[in-house]
Structure 1
């Protein structure tokens, strides 16, 4: 299992990739397979990151059997958080 620092990094990477992919349109999402491929995150750690982020209300996840994310989308709150971070970076 990943360390605390790795888990936090994985969560931020998931949010960033989703935000960049959907360009602010919360109707779009990314498959779990694409996230796993693009981020090079082990399946177990991706599932844990998605579970955490969904619990925080930042993403929604459609799960495949075996607890693998099938489709992941940002919620309105997730988009707001990413926009706020983008504004802070200037």
Structure 2
């Protein structure tokens, strides 16, 4: 069972990976790429993406197995990450 701390870290890692991709003019990432790059269990990736969709921060296209095929930041997600970047500066 994933702890609350782990779930928050997974969500933050996904957001940062997508924000970094957006800065490199890549509109999003594949679910498989996030899984590999972040070393995140598939179920936790799917759960984190579902949470972020619910918050309006990402858009997800899912596979037939209901796992993320592609994940991209929404406009609100970009604004959220920019606000965090400003706070930490």
Asked whether the two chains share a fold, i.e. TM above 0.5, the reply is yes
Count matched residues: 89
CA positional deviation for 1:66:
1.1
CA distance in 1: counterparts of 2:71 and 2:29, whole angstroms:
5
3-state SS of the aligned residue for 2:53?
Answer: helix
Q: Any stretches of 5+ residues in structure 2 without a counterpart? A: none
CA positional deviation for 1:22:
1.1
Runs of 4+ residues deviating >6 angstroms: none
CA positional deviation for 1:47:
0.1
CA distance in 2: counterparts of 1:24 and 1:59, whole angstroms:
17
Matched, 1:59 2:72: no
TM-score relative to the length of structure 2: 0.95
**Partner of 2:70 in structure 1?**
71
